[in-house]
């Protein structure tokens, strides 16, 4: 375990201010991006948003995975893609099923879903032309990435950066039933249920059989992640119940199986989990480096002043990509 370089300023040491600053107070405009529709084997599709130059076989390509109820329009995805665009580096943000618009099956994504992620990695690797392919996952996207690295690594990634991963899902579900963390829980569950309703309406037109699957889920009185994961995620993906889902998909138990160079960045004050979720050194393989920040909240890591905040995650993402560039001078030159 190493200490992350992030240092919170005096005015932003609250984990809740760190967590809420980006979603509520940051104003950022998406850079110019190219939308690609990636077909999937089951007839559905994923939306990929490319930014920067097209892969050229030399510059590293960064694949970004958003968190629960997020998308390529999430502030942290836009910020990182803008940073890499300024450096002249290619990136692609992969949207989970239904993240930006309703998809064409009842399936979406969850903490252990790796089949869709594998399809994206295979696709991006094929386009990279031999250049390094890197992946950065945030929150639930980090959980999916870590699970893929432990269970399905095909050697198509050269490195990975996982940020604020919920490593013990039961721990997170319990913690978000307490104190101010209930604010995040309520918001996320409300957003997920609205998305589910929109998905069912869409499927009733394009795929009635799949709509019937969603219609059969009990959505009444869902007030916790134990409820949501037990009544929605478990039946949709074949888990017995929420506890079975958490046991099978908690990436924290699999960190010792990872062989691709991986950096795991966690905040000790993350309001989505407790400090008990942090892995011990003996839980990590030699390929995994754990970085822990004392502050940072959940995907916050805001520095600078209140008038001119600085988003350290973008700096960390740049350093991660630079470390895997085969030609550091070309990256520096691209930065101008």
* Partners of 162 in beta bridges: 137, 264
If phi > 0 it is left, if psi is from -120 to 50 it is alpha, else beta; for residue 221 that is left
Active site residue 328: no
Calculated CA dihedral for residues 41, 45, 47, 50, nearest 10 degrees = 30
Task: Give the whole-angstrom CA distance, residue 276 versus residue 228.
Answer: 23
Among 270, 277, 295, 325, the active-site one is 270
Among 139, 143, 181, 325, the active-site one is 139
Pairing of strands 91-94, 45-51: antiparallel
Active site residue 139: yes
CA R_g for the chain: 19
Tell me which H or E stretch contains 206.
helix 181-206
SS3 (DSSP) at 253: helix
Which single residue is written with the structure tokens 């803008």?
Answer: 82
Query: How buried is 248 (Cβ within 10 angstroms: 0-12 exposed, 13-18 middle, 19+ buried)?
Result: middle
Among 91, 202, 298, 325, the active-site one is 298
Positions annotated as catalytic residues are 139, 270, 298
């Amino acid at each position: 375990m190493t200490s992350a370089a992030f240092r919170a300023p005096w005015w932003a040491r609250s984990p809740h201010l760190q967590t809420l600053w980006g979603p509520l107070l940051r104003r950022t405009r998406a850079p110019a991006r190219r939308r690609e529709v990636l077909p999937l084997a089951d007839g559905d599709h994923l939306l990929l948003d490319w930014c920067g130059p097209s892969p050229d076989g030399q510059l590293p390509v960064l694949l970004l995975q958003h968190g629960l109820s997020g998308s390529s329009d999430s502030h942290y995805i836009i910020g990182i893609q803008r940073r890499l665009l300024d450096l002249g580096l290619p990136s692609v943000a992969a949207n989970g099923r239904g993240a930006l618009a309703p998809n064409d099956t009842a399936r979406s994504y969850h903490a252990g879903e790796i089949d869709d992620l594998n399809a994206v990695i295979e696709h991006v690797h094929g386009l990279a032309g031999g250049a390094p392919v890197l992946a950065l996952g945030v929150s639930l996207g980090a959980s999916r990435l870590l699970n893929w690295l432990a269970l399905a690594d095909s050697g198509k990634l050269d490195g990975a950066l996982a940020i604020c991963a919920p490593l013990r899902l039961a721990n997170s579900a319990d913690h978000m039933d307490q104190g101010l963390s209930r604010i995040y829980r309520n918001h996320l569950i409300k957003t997920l249920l609205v998305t589910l309703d929109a998905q069912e309406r869409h499927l009733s037109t394009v795929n009635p059989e799949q709509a019937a699957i969603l219609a059969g889920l009990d959505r009444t009185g869902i007030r916790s992640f134990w409820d949501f994961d037990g009544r929605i995620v478990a039946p949709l993906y074949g888990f017995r119940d929420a506890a079975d889902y958490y046991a099978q998909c908690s990436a924290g138990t699999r960190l010792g199986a990872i062989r691709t160079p991986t950096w795991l960045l966690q905040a000790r004050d993350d309001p989505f989990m407790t400090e008990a979720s942090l892995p011990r050194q003996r839980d990590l393989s030699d390929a995994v480096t754990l970085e822990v920040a004392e502050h940072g909240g959940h995907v916050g890591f805001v520095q600078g002043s209140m008038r001119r905040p600085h988003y350290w995650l973008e700096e960390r993402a740049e350093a991660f990509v630079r470390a895997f560039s085969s030609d550091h001078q070309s990256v520096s030159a691209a930065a101008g």
